[in-house]
Amino acid sequence: MTDSLWLWILLAVVLVVVIGGTGLVVSGRRRRGDVPGSPTVDAPTDASTDVRPAPTAPTTGPTPPAQEPAEPALDVPEPVGGRLARLRGRLARSGSPFGARLLQVLSRDHLSEDDWDELEETLLLADVGAGPAGELIDALRTRVRVEGVKDPTAVRAMLREELVRLVDPTLDRTLATTRTVRDDVEVPAVVLVVGVNGTGKTTTVGKLARVLVAEERSVVLGAADTFRAAAADQLQTWGSRVGVPTVRSDKDGADPAAVAFDAVRRGREDAVDVVLVDTAGRLQNKAGLMDELGKIRRVITKEAPLSEVLLVLDATTGQNGLNQARVFGEVAGVTGIVLTKLDGTARGGIVVAVQRELGVPVKLVGLGEGPDDLAPFDVESFVDGLLGDD
């Protein structure tokens, strides 16, 4: 064999060895998963791509129970005593146009006939009414003439005395909210609240509930104004603030007498002190009002006697308020009056006029917009407020 042949054989063996080694290297890389363009399996990965859950520490002991939601804190109504004194101070600070004008005229050195006419006009503009205004003027003229009084302070004292007499401190203004006995069983006092829409009737019921809670009385509210969609919601909101339940119907336009009956029955079952029943304020015609309120009264008295029928009037409505009072007085058997918006002092004489019209006393007055701005009516505090005696 020639030398050249051996040389070719040697070169062929070398090539085979080189090519085989390269294949082993490539094979080894692929077995490790090292494919071109991707990291090797044992290369460290960036933390942002690691989606494995973090290890959690082992828990010991039982899982704590879920916390119950805290009950909302109830309102604490302002004590009833001193509420009208607050009105007295408010009237005195603001200056009553009614009282100020009377005092301005009476402080003159000599009262002419025109002066007395001006006094009477002031009383009429304050809605005192023609009859009571004439009485007051006659009484003052007689006293000034007979007693020869000229000192403004003495005249002011006379005016105060005559106004107190006119508002009449002899009327019984207590609110009948004491449980009574019927058929040897104690039943709650039932207060029916009536009046036209817009006078603040439902708000007054809510505020009266606060007055009773402040006196540590237990109360149930009856939302028998079923014709005004928001009335029941409004009443329930007032009650929930002081922990007082509200009996209502889930259906608009439901029978108000049925709601009133359920409220009184609930009051009996729960042995509460007072049931307050709000009614619809529609005044479409006298016959319809009589039928509706008559039915409510009959149904309520099957469970408990009526203790009070309170008529809510807006003190700023003047003669319109008197017309409303007249109709409700004939229909509902009103036992007491609640005057709202009495913080406006120019029409304070409505107290006298409405009492004369119905022959029943003003028992409560609304002093403003606050939740505790409802107070028992006190004659002397009211008159002092009108005259600016702080």
Nearest partner of 328 among 376, 372, 363, 279, judged by Cα: 279
Closest Cα to residue 129, out of 312, 341, 325?
A: 325
Work out the pLDDT band at 309, boundaries 50, 70, 90: very high
pTM of the entire predicted model: 0.77
Fold of 180-334: Rossmann fold (3.40.50)
Span of 63-72, 235-244, 259-268, 337-346 with lowest mean pLDDT? 63-72
The answer to whether 49 is a known ligand-binding residue is no
183 is in an annotated binding site: no
DSSP 29-50: HHHTT--TTS--TTSPPPGGG-
89 in a labelled binding site: no
Tens of pLDDT, residues 58-102: 545 555 555 555 566 888 787 777 676 666 666 555 445 677 788
Each residue's pLDDT tens digit, 143-194: 888 887 777 778 788 888 999 999 999 999 999 999 999 888 999 999 999 9
The 10s digit of each residue's pLDDT in 245-260 is 999 998 878 899 999 9
Q: Is 335 annotated as a binding residue?
A: no
Residue 370 is classified by DSSP as S
Minimum mean pLDDT range among 7-16, 28-37, 271-280? 28-37
Q: Cα dist. 5→11, 13, 241, 322, 357 in Å? A: 10, 13, 115, 142, 147
Q: pLDDT class for 24, splitting at 50, 70, 90?
A: very low
- pLDDT at residue 14 greater than cutoff 70: no
What is the percent of the chain where pLDDT is above 70?
A: 75
Q: Given pLDDT bands bounded at 50, 70 and 90, which one contains residue 335? A: very high
Q: Is 285 annotated as a binding residue?
A: no
pLDDT of 264 reads 97
- Residues found in the chain: 390
Q: Is 21 annotated as a binding-site member?
A: no
Q: Which pLDDT belongs to residue 202?
A: 94
pLDDT above 80 for 10: no
**Is the confidence at residue 302, as pLDDT, over 50?**
yes
* Residue 342 annotated as part of some ligand binding site: yes
Higher-confidence position of 26 and 245:
245
Residue 317 has pLDDT above 70, yes or no: yes
Does 333 show up as a binding residue in the annotation? no
Per-residue model confidence as pLDDT tens digits over 99-153: 778 878 877 777 788 988 998 888 888 888 889 999 999 998 888 888 877 777 7
Residue 344: closest CA among 371, 304, 317, 375: 317
Residue 336: the pLDDT is: 96
Residue 386, number of CB atoms within 10 A of its CB: 26
Longest dimension (CA), the chain: 174
pLDDT at 272: 97
| 281 in a known ligand binding site | yes
Residue 278 labelled as part of a binding site: yes
pLDDT single digits (tens) 45-62: 343 334 334 444 454 555
The pLDDT of residue 224 = 95
